C-alpha cells in the first residue's frame, strides 16, 4: 500500500507542491531585516560592549592590569596627601586601554575588587570601527569615563 502511495506521491509531485506552498506563504511574512543605520537592535542584557571606568570607585589596585591576559591595560598612579582629610591617597596619572587588541574576555571586570565594579564591559556600545586604529581604539581615562563622545548605540540610555 505504501508503495502505491509512494508512487502516487511521485506522480502527483505532492511534496514539491508542499514546498512551493511554504515559500509562497513566506512572501507575506513579516521580514526579519533590521535596516541597520536607521534601526538598531538593542544588545542582550549581558552583552560585552566597550569598557567604562568609574574613577571615584577605583582603588588603583591595578588588579585589572595584572589579570589582563594580553596586557593592554596601562595604569600609572602616584600617592598624594589630600589636604582636606590629611590622608595619603592614590591618584591616577594614566588609565589607558589599547582596545585594538582587546578580545573582550571580561577578566578585568572579574578581577576588580570594588563593589560595584569600577571597570565593566556591559555598556551596549558596540560600534567600535574606525578608520585609524591608533587614533580611535587607544582610549584614555577621559574617554573611558565619558561615552558622550561616542554615539549612543541604542535608543535606550547607554549604561
Chain residues binding other proteins by CB under 8 A are: 16, 19-20, 22-24, 26-33, 35
CB of 77 to other proteins, least distance (A): 51
By C-beta, is 20 or 159 nearer to other proteins? 20
If DSSP states are collapsed to H, E and C, what string results for the chain? CHHHHHHHHHHHCHHHHHHHHHHHHHHCCCCCCCCCCCCCCCCCCCCCCCCEECCCCCCCCCHHHHHCCCCCEEEEEEEEECCCCCCEEEEEEEEEEEHHHCCCCCHHHHHCCCCCCCEECCCCCCCCCCCCHHHHCEECHHHHHCHHHCCCCCCCCCC
CB of 108 to other proteins, least distance (A): 38
CB of 26 to other proteins, least distance (A): 5
By C-beta, is 10 or 133 nearer to other proteins? 10
CB of 15 to other proteins, least distance (A): 11
By C-beta, is 28 or 134 nearer to other proteins? 28
By C-beta, is 41 or 149 nearer to other proteins? 41
Amino acid at each position: 500500500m505504501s508503495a502505491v502511495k509512494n508512487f502516487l506521491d511521485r506522480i502527483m509531485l505532492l511534496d514539491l507542491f508542499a514546498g512551493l506552498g511554504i515559500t509562497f506563504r513566506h512572501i507575506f511574512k513579516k521580514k526579519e531585516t533590521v535596516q541597520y543605520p536607521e534601526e538598531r537592535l538593542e544588545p542582550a542584557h549581558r552583552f560585552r560592549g566597550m569598557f567604562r571606568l568609574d574613577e571615584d570607585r577605583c582603588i588603583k589596585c591595578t588588579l585589572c592590569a595584572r589579570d589582563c591576559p594580553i596586557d593592554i591595560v596601562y595604569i600609572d598612579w602616584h600617592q598624594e596627601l589630600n589636604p582636606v582629610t590629611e590622608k595619603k591617597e592614590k591618584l591616577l596619572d594614566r588609565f589607558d586601554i589599547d582596545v585594538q587588541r582587546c578580545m573582550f574576555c571580561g577578566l578585568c571586570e572579574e578581577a576588580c575588587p570594588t563593589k560595584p565594579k569600577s571597570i565593566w564591559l556591559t555598556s551596549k556600545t558596540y560600534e567600535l570601527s574606525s578608520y585609524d586604529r591608533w587614533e580611535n581604539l587607544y582610549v584614555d581615562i577621559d574617554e573611558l569615563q565619558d561615552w558622550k563622545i561616542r554615539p549612543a548605540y541604542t535608543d535606550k540610555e547607554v549604561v
